A and B are shown apart, each in its own frame.
Chain A
Amino acid sequence: MKLLSIETATEACSAALWLDGALTSRFEMAPREHTRLILPMMDALLAEAGVRLADLDALAFGRGPGAFTGVRIAAAVIQGAAFGADLPVVPVSTLAALAQQGLDAGATRVLAALDARMGEVYWAAFEADSEGLAVPAGPEQVVAPDAVPVPEGQGWRCVGSGWGGYEQALRTRLGGRVSDIDSSPYPAAAEVARLAVRDFAAGLAVPAEQALPVYLRDKVAEKPKT
């Protein structure tokens, strides 16, 4: 299995190459630099490995939720590359990729939260499958921190920027169900690649045209009242 992935939904810009279990990646914190960095990252990973785009089995991208423009950059770049190289695409949840970092740090259940601006967070709960990879434990949503769904049980590890801005409100809401909080991880292409390899095997790849963003926030304009 050979797969190239990207993730650009937050200030972090990254690309990763999975070659039969070996993972190489590029990662940079680069607000507003994604358009300059992403294709050179992809190009460099392939060049270093001596692999051509056409040799790959699939492409993957963080399909959101996240910054609208960032998610769309990922979708656009992957659409172009997938169409050009005639490759299928595995869309991976940006929240799942983020949660994977919590699972990798030893947790078995993770609450992933990304700052969604406007007083809300992008939110979802994840658990580990038998391989230790993130599977959803509830729906993804955009929600105010004091209204997030309270998960069952205890020992939930919390990851993501949403925990930085709204820690107090979230703690009040979730009380003792939370174990530790780490707001420093950003979603990255390395975890997107690992989740995509699993999902590809499960038949979840789509054609290039369907490599589309998931925004969660869909009310973006008011119709004028007449």
Chain B
Amino acid sequence: MRILGIETSCDETGVAVIDAEHGLLSHALYSQVALHAEYGGVVPELASRDHIRKLLPLVRQALDEADTAAPDLTGIAYTSGPGLLGALLVGAGVARSLAWAWGLPAVGVHHMEGHLLAPLLGDEPPEFPFLALLVSGGHTMLVDVQGVGRYRILGESLDDAAGEAFDKTAKLLGLGYPGGPALAALAEQGDPARFSFPRPMTDRPGLDFSFSGLKTRALTTLREARTEQDRADVARAFEEAVVDTLVIKCLRAVQETGAERLVVAGGVGANRRLRERLRAAVGAEGASVHYPPFEFCTDNGAMIALAGLMRFQAGAGEDLTIRARARWNLAQG
């Protein structure tokens, strides 16, 4: 079984070919980050316009690199949502139509399913069941994963996503977009003892998150900030608070579910401090922490090809409707 996967939900165009026996055969990615950076955030219409120009050349490239032609393929998977509707429609339209032309089945997969299965692309894939922490620019959630399509959302952000909070706070600090990595770098110079930010929603039971208050706290603290060191101290306090909060909730989820494996996916999973703290805290509970290979932490086609492969193995296949949905609850399958 061999699957072509297509991802266009936001500002990355990704295409990949995966084989049930031989694993990932190719993946091609084009990032629009530079395009949107000039606007200080993703401009949906510009994202859609770029996807329609870049997608087909990437499909050609991924197929060539995988030495794969139509007869070798079993099906085509595409990101059906959630995401920017116009952007999703490009990938969904090309994918569904190509599958029709080739007489292949197609399946629309959930973007976050792609992210939470991405660790299976690594050399030591975690076994089901596992707990997944999804932390990206658009999402923060804890998911109990029993198997493909068997997801229970244990908690999610009630306001800003963790990555969004990083980006917004980075903006307050005068850092570029996307600001997560830049903020983390600045925080390295910061003194963790200088300011203390709250750990939102950790003083009550439950696994939901709230990060928008931290951004406000950073804003008020910054009013007093004069020097570069002050700014670094604010960055550090913010990072400590987000990381600590994520770790506390993960630990709580591990204890409540008895999970033996925690999978961390999404762009914020690249944060070094988060990785260190999770390893120590979750490790102390006897559970292991798994990450996707570095290049598959952010949006990519490989995770969609993989999710599609697992869906097709479970018998998936759809009619000729081009499915794109801006909102789509992961647990509703």
Q: Which residues of A contact B (CB under 8 A)?
A: 35-36, 38-40, 42-43, 53, 68-69, 72-73, 75-81, 83-85, 208-209, 212-213, 215, 220-224
Check: B284 CB closer than 8 A to any chain A CB: no
Report how far A69 CA is from B93 CA in the complex, Å.
Answer: 11
Q: How far is the CB of B7 from chain A (nearest CB, A)?
A: 14
Q: How far is the CB of A204 from chain B (nearest CB, A)?
A: 19
Does B53 lie within 8 Å of A212, measured CB to CB?
yes
What is the count of residue pairs linking A and B with beta-carbon distances less than 8 angstroms? 108
Q: How far is the CB of A215 from chain B (nearest CB, A)?
A: 8
Pairs A-B, 3 closest by C-beta atoms: A84-B101, A76-B93, A80-B97
Does A220 lie within 8 Å of B93, measured CB to CB?
no
Which chain A residue shows the least CB distance to B6? A80
11 CB-based A-B contacts, threshold 8 Å: A35-B324, A43-B320, A72-B48, A72-B52, A75-B93, A76-B92, A77-B93, A80-B100, A83-B98, A84-B100, A220-B46
Does A35 lie within 8 Å of B95, measured CB to CB?
no
Interface of B, secondary structure class, is: helix
Stretch from B37-45, B122-130, B132-140, B201-209 forming part of the interface with A = B37-45
Report how far A73 CA is from B85 CA in the complex, Å.
Answer: 11
Does A84 lie within 8 Å of B40, measured CB to CB?
no
Does A39 lie within 8 Å of B320, measured CB to CB?
yes
List chain B residues, Cβ under 8 A from A76. Answer: 52, 55, 89-94, 97
Report how far A222 CA is from B38 CA in the complex, Å.
Answer: 10
Report how far A40 CA is from B320 CA in the complex, Å.
Answer: 6
The bracket for how many chain B residues form the interface is 35 or more
Does B43 lie within 8 Å of A38, measured CB to CB?
no
Knowing A35-B92, A39-B96, A39-B100, say if A79 contacts B321 (CB, 8 Å).
no
Knowing A35-B323, A39-B320, say if A72 contacts B97 (CB, 8 Å).
no
Check: B102 CB closer than 8 A to any chain A CB: yes
The CB with the most chain A CB atoms within 10 A, among B86, B93, B98, B324, is that of: B93
List chain A residues, Cβ under 8 A from B237. Answer: none
Does B52 lie within 8 Å of A212, measured CB to CB?
yes
List chain B residues, Cβ under 8 A from A73. Answer: 89, 93, 322
Report how far A35 CA is from B57 CA in the complex, Å.
Answer: 23
Does B101 lie within 8 Å of A85, measured CB to CB?
yes
Q: How far is the CB of A7 from chain B (nearest CB, A)?
A: 15
Does B45 lie within 8 Å of A81, measured CB to CB?
no
B60-113 at interface with A (beta carbon < 8 Å): 60, 70, 85-86, 89-102
Knowing A76-B52, A77-B93, say if A68 contacts B324 (CB, 8 Å).
no
